[in-house]
Amino acid sequence: MKGYLQLESGDIYEGNWLTNHILEDVSGEIVFFTGMTGYQEVLTDPSYKDQIIVFTYPLIGNYGINEEDFESNRPHVAGVIVYEANEEASHYQAQYTLKQYLQKWNIPLLSHIDTRSVVKKIRNSGSMPALLTKSYPKEINVPKLCEDNKVSKVSTSQFETFGAGSIHIVLIDYGKKESILSSLLERNCKVTVIPYHTSFQMIRKMNPNGILLSNGPGNPKNLQSHLPTVKELITHYPTLGICLGHQLVALSLGGNTKKLLFGHRGANHPVKDEKNNIVFMSSQNHSFYVDKDSLIGTNLKGRFYNLHDQSIEGLVHDYLPIQTVQFHPEANPGPAEGAYVFDEFLNMVKENNRSNVAYA
Ligand SMILES: NC(=O)CC[C@H](N)C(=O)O
């Protein structure tokens, strides 16, 4: 069955609508991911909530979908665009093909779209609203993007504790990836995952040794009303902020975030760590970034930089034990070269315990 991708710019692409029983049109912000593998992790990363994802690698689905590599309990993308979708999954762990999995969750999969051309459009004009439809669009009817609070759609509603280590980390769930939790558990932490709107007083009662502010979907400025809590947390506890968490730390201390033209989404973004004077490859998924000039007077300083566009990839604080990263140290998908950020964070937490800094 034919299907169409319409961009806000007016461009229309014809492809094959593979998830046949899904009849409705879907709309969302169109973004692209450049990794050759890792589509399962991308589909289930809550930071992709409501986005239409274009995979640039021309053959997606070879190894199917398995039970091991989910980053959350369901896919979050609004729609999926590929050049070719492999309908036979050849991997011993595969439980579904890509199409079966998306069909199960009512998410349209459109193939044989000229993904190169779509990506060139996005690179020139920026991430934009797009529509996936089964009937040829006769007029421009791409809905505007909805600037809602997407974090509220993906954060947990429960308090849950994992692991039994002596270091207790409270993980604030703005739409966390499972790999962030497992990165802490592998390092023998006790981790309590909590809803994003939990108050400072309640977190304080949990007596954490450190705070991890997770990744999450949408514009960080949609969480304006939560910034006072973030500020209170980071001035009382050693903190690691990842992606959205990094952006919230910057906003809460008076910095500013802006939107990139087309975002960073892939598994090979080179990052420079100026503290250790090394360059490594990182996994990334973000549209927003912290504006360097806005940090003047905040006591936050850049430590990590993206070598493609020099944008900030991580911050440290002049005197508080705060570390933030825009990239994904938990990888999945992509290289784990930045995983030492978790070790540094836990060393910072232990050091803080030892010196017992009298924060408040
Ligand atoms: N992965 C993330 O946490 C993304 C953060 C934010 N939603 C952005 O797009 O920039």
Does any ligand 1 atom lie closer than 6 A to the CB of residue 245?
no
Q: Which atom of ligand 1 is nearest to the CA of 242?
A: 3
**Catalytic site residue 186?**
no
* Domain span holding position 89: 2-133
Q: Which residues of 162-182 are buried (b: 16+ CB within 10 A; e: fewer)?
A: bbebebbbbbbbbbbbbbbbe
What pTM, to 2 d.p., does this model score? 0.97
Instruction: With a cut of 90, say whether residue 140 has pLDDT above it.
Output: no
Q: Do 181 and 312 fall into the same domain?
A: yes
Q: Do 351 and 209 fall into the same domain?
A: yes
Q: Quick: pLDDT tens for 36-49.
A: 999 999 999 999 99
Q: Which atom of ligand 1 is nearest to the CA of 259?
A: 10
> φ, ψ for residue 38 (rounded to 5)?
95, 15
Residue 276: give its domain's CATH number.
3.40.50.880
| Residue to substitute in 243, 246, 248 for testing ligand 1 pocket (most ligand atoms within 8 angstroms of CB) | 243
Alpha helices of 22-147 — where are they, by DSSP H? Answer: 39-44, 98-104, 115-125
Q: Do 228 and 88 fall into the same domain?
A: no
Does any ligand 1 atom lie closer than 6 A to the CB of residue 314?
no
Q: Do 183 and 34 fall into the same domain?
A: no
- Is 219 contained in some domain? yes
Instruction: With a cut of 70, say whether residue 359 has pLDDT above it.
Output: no
Share of the chain above pLDDT 70, in %: 99
Ligand 1 centroid from CA 41, angstroms: 15
**Catalytic site residue 91?**
no
Does any ligand 1 atom lie closer than 6 A to the CB of residue 113?
no
Look up tokens 């924060």; give the residue: 359
- Is 270 contained in some domain? yes
Question: Which residue, by CA, sits nearest to atom 5 of ligand 1?
Answer: 244
The stretch 182-194 carries a mean pLDDT of: 98
Q: Quick: pLDDT tens for 160-174.
A: 999 999 999 999 999
Kindly report which listed range (21-35, 295-309, 330-344) carries the lowest average pLDDT score.
21-35
Tell me the pLDDT band of 20, cut-offs 50, 70 and 90. confident
Residue 113: give its domain's CATH number.
3.50.30.20
Q: Do 129 and 215 fall into the same domain?
A: no
Q: Quick: pLDDT tens for 103-134.
A: 999 999 999 999 999 999 999 999 999 999 99
Spot the catalytic one: 168, 178, 243, 269. Answer: 243
- Is 360 contained in some domain? no
Tell me the pLDDT band of 138, cut-offs 50, 70 and 90. confident
- Is 146 contained in some domain? no
Q: ipTM surpassing 0.95, yes or no?
A: yes
- Is 269 contained in some domain? yes
Q: Specify the number of domains making up the chain.
A: 2
Diameter over CA atoms, the chain: 67
The reported pLDDT for the residue numbered 21 is 79
